[in-house]
Amino acid sequence: MKKISFLILCGFLGIPSLSFAGASQASFTPTGYKYPIMKISITQAGGVGEQVLYQCAGTTSASCMVDVANPTALSAIGTAAANASIEAATYTTINLYTCPDGTPGTTNTSISVMGTVPATAVAGGPFSTDTNAAGGMIAGTTATFTDITWACSTKSITMTTPFVVTAGSTQNLTLLVDLTNSVWTDANASAGMGGCKADATAAQDICSVMPLVIPYFGSGTPTYERYLVAHINAGTALAVDANAGVNLAIDGNGSVFYAGTQPYFSASSIASTDALKGGPDYNASTRTLSTNADGTIAFQTGGSADNRVGFTAFQRTAVGATHTGTCKNELGTSPTWNYLATRQ
């Protein structure tokens, strides 16, 4: 059985930024984000021939938390995996596990975030994450990690081009991380909302989308493209109304291999429930992804046909440029939204 040596390169992307959301909501980039990384593996077509690239030494999600906002912590994954070896074969999928093998998605785990929202962002601020606060945040500027309940998941990404591993070669695994605006504070969050920590009062709570922690196996240097998205049900959307984000992961050949979505809150963001400019729901991971003949991206989010956003021809543009198009969820009675996307 032929084996190859394996080299991991961990990359960190995402410039700390802050956006404003009126009186009680504000998206922000955390300074700390602990995320369970139990295992990273690759598989051949049909899910066979799994080869483990990284395996946490712990046996539970809690013991495998990695602060993905910390480049040193990311480098430790590379150190642990540097001597991994895999069989020479053709691989199609890379997988990141947050819980032990066989754990159902109905099982809870947690993430842990840390950061501060200044007084200019939310009325009554500044607010900081706090370990002991029922809603995850307290007044002040001293931030500590606070846990948010999350469901176990496996992130399986199909490579745009199957990757052929030959005997005696050395390959690279890059862990892409982008936490920009991945967390937001809200005085009206519900403890029943997935990805939120909330109390029963009007105090500031905290929520998080599924973080963009994306493994990439292959040659070249992968990167992200980030877009803010505004909507309108007729006419042309305005950039100032943006209330959602689309994030594309680009492989070493310049092709999109992953798309992620998230809500976005600023002082001028439109509520997602607004009948004129609200748009579809962006709180879900991507279910299908493909590249059209003209280079535009088609992808659908959500686990089944529901109110989650989908695009048939999302364009890629230069930084600062915009494009327009239409998006829709999978409910037949829902409107088709005109959107405007601005590359960040």
Residues 275-289: tens digit of each pLDDT = 999 999 998 888 899
- pLDDT beyond 70 at 3: no
Q: What is the mean pLDDT of residues 240-258?
A: 93
Backbone angles phi, psi at 60, to 5 degrees: -130, 160
pTM to 2 decimal places: 0.86
- pLDDT beyond 70 at 16: no
The burial of 303, by beta-carbon neighbours within 10 Å (0-12 exposed, 13-18 middle, 19 or more buried), is given as exposed
- pLDDT beyond 80 at 132: yes
Backbone angles phi, psi at 126, to 5 degrees: -75, 160
Residues 78-115: tens digit of each pLDDT = 887 777 888 999 999 999 999 999 888 888 899 999 99
Domain regions of the chain by residue span: 17-219, 221-344
- Measured CA to CA in angstroms, residue 306 lies from 9, 55, 189 at distances of 37, 35, 22
Q: What is the mean pLDDT of residues 284-300?
A: 93
- Identify each DSSP E strand in 81-186 by its residue range: 85-87, 90-97, 108-114, 116-117, 127-129, 137-139, 146-151, 154-164, 170-178, 183-186
Strand order through the sheet with 32-36: 65-67, 32-36, 108-114, 146-151
Residues 198-214: tens digit of each pLDDT = 887 778 899 998 778 88
pLDDT of residue 12: 42
pLDDT of residue 263: 92
> CA-to-CA distance for 219 and 7, rounded, in angstroms?
12
> CA-to-CA distance for 79 and 81, rounded, in angstroms?
5
Strand pairing of 3-10 and 170-178? parallel
- Measured CA to CA in angstroms, residue 311 lies from 200, 265, 272 at distances of 37, 21, 17
pLDDT of residue 46: 92
- pLDDT beyond 90 at 10: no
